[in-house]
Amino acid sequence: MKSHEVDYEIFGDDMQLVEVELDPSESVIAEAGGMNYMEEGIEFQAKMGDGSEMDGGLLGKLASVGKRMLTGESIFMTHFTNRGVGKKRVAFAAPYPGKIIPIDLDDVGGKLICQKDSFLCAAFGTRVSIAFNKRFGAGLFGGEGFILQKLEGDGLAFIHAGGTVIQKDLRGEKLMVDTGCIVAFTEGIEYDIQRAGNLKSMFFGGEGLFLATLRGSGRVWLQSLPFSRLADRILSNAPSAGGRSKGEGSVLGGLGRLIDGN
């Protein structure tokens, strides 16, 4: 299925949103709950799957739903279609601080592998499925489990990453990365894991027990702030059961309460 050709504009810096412009009858698909605003004339409908399963009939839809359940995603995707006259716009917001990355799938060989929570929205006609990690070690210790998300098509797709995003082009090199910092990579990149140095480095180096290795020829997107790392920092400073945070007994905690007037 040929993807719809959509235009877009990205707004913001650290909490971005992407505004997608649709011609009459054009559509964009998104994960449930990602929409920020839409103009009059845009209609939305929750459907099972991304729409690429229509040719596969009921069995194709059921297979797609089963795969999405494995990733922990909603079995429904929301389809936004311009039913009005003239161009209309619908916007999708990033779920946490970071960057929205627009990727023309036609420019990367029609296929992109990404972490399962990074997909934000895409032009209708994009196939959103899962990719099982073939290597047992990479699946067991690689941070993203056995399942990665796969985007296929020839149109625009938008993924989200935390913090600052850097793009690297590998030409046969090997890149070692913290397992949570991988956002996406193109076909031609082999994903695996390796032990993080000797036993002392593994347990006391602070970099985790394993590192992801990316090797081959292709493009890689990395993020500086994985959501799991952000969540760990928030939880580590959250109030305890007694209602006191870890910093409340310190000098800085006392100064903070004085400034707040408590």
Provide the pLDDT for residue 63.
62
More confident residue, 106 or 259: 106
Mean pLDDT over all residues of the chain? 79
pLDDT band at 261 (very low <50, low <70, confident <90, very high): very low
For the chain, percent of residues with pLDDT exceeding 70: 70
For residue range 31-87, what is the model confidence (pLDDT) as tens digits?
Answer: 888 899 999 999 999 887 777 655 555 665 666 666 656 655 667 889 999 999 999
Q: In the chain, where do the E strands start and end?
A: 7-11, 17-22, 27-31, 35-38, 42-48, 76-82, 88-93, 98-104, 111-114, 119-123, 127-132, 147-152, 156-162, 165-178, 182-186, 189-195, 210-223
122-181: per-residue pLDDT in tens?
999 999 888 765 554 544 454 544 568 899 999 999 999 998 999 999 999 999 888 788
Model confidence at 116: pLDDT above 60? yes
Strand order in the sheet with 7-11: 7-11, 17-22, 88-93, 35-38
Q: Which domains does the chain have, with CATH numbers?
A: 7-235 (3.60.160.10)
Query: Once rounded to an integer, what is the mean pLDDT over residues 243-258?
Result: 49
For position 145, what pLDDT does the model report? 47
